[in-house]
Amino acid sequence: MGSFIIYIAYCRKSTDEKDKQVLSIEAQIAELKEFAKRDHLEVTEFITEAKTAKMPGREQFALVLKKVEKGEAQGIISWHPDRLARNSIDGGKVIYLLDTGKLIDLKFPSFWFENTPQGKFMLSIAFGQSKYYVDNLSENVKRGNRQKLRRGEWPSKAPYGYINNPKTRAVDIDPELSKVVKKAFQLFAEGNKSFTEISNFMFKFGMNRESCGKPIKVDQIKRMLSNKFYVGILKYAGEYYEGSHKCFISKQLFKEVQKQIDKILRHRQKGHNFAFSGLATCGECGAVITAEQHIKKYKNGTGQTFIYYRCTKKIKLCNQKYISEPDTEIQLRKIIRDCGLHEDWESYFEKWISEAEEKDKLKCETEGQKMELFGSNL
Name the residue type at position 49: E
What is the pLDDT at residue 17?
63
CATH number assigned to the domain comprising residue 66: 3.40.50.1390
CATH number assigned to the domain comprising residue 191: 3.90.1750.20
Domain boundary residue among 78, 106, 137?
Answer: 137
Strand partners, 108: 111
Whether 55 is covered by a domain: the verdict is yes
Residue closest to 276 by CA, chosen among 295, 289, 287, 286? 289
Among left, alpha and beta (phi > 0; psi -120 to 50; other), residue 24 is: beta
The whole-angstrom separation of Cα 94 and Cα 85 is: 9
Same domain, 160 and 246: yes
Same domain, 257 and 308: no
Same domain, 40 and 98: yes
What domain range is 266 assigned to? 152-271
Same domain, 281 and 189: no
Domain boundary residue among 232, 253, 271?
Answer: 271
Number of domains in the chain: 4
| 61, 49 Cβ separation under 8 angstroms | yes
Same domain, 214 and 295: no
The whole-angstrom separation of Cα 205 and Cα 174 is: 14
What is the pLDDT at residue 137?
74
Same domain, 238 and 197: yes
Same domain, 192 and 306: no
| 324, 307 Cβ separation under 8 angstroms | yes
Residue closest to 3 by CA, chosen among 108, 105, 92, 95? 105
Low-confidence ranges of the chain (pLDDT < 70): 1-3, 15-21, 267-272, 340-342, 364-378
What is the pLDDT at residue 2?
42
Whether 147 is covered by a domain: the verdict is no
Whether 94 is covered by a domain: the verdict is yes
What is the pLDDT at residue 1?
43
Give the C-alpha distances (Å, rounded to integers) separating 208 from 158, 197, 224.
15, 13, 13
Same domain, 166 and 262: yes
Whether 376 is covered by a domain: the verdict is yes
Domain boundary residue among 271, 291, 309?
Answer: 271
Same domain, 280 and 309: yes
What is the pLDDT at residue 334?
86
The whole-angstrom separation of Cα 181 and Cα 159 is: 10
Same domain, 100 and 219: no
Whether 91 is covered by a domain: the verdict is yes
Per DSSP (E only), the strands in 165-264 are 171-173, 233-236, 239-242
Same domain, 264 and 282: no
Same domain, 277 and 263: no
Whether 369 is covered by a domain: the verdict is yes
- 3-state DSSP of 103-168: CCEEEECCECCCCCHHHHHHHHHHHHHHHHHHHHHHHHHHHHHHHHHHCCCCCCCCCCCEEECCCC
Whether 375 is covered by a domain: the verdict is yes
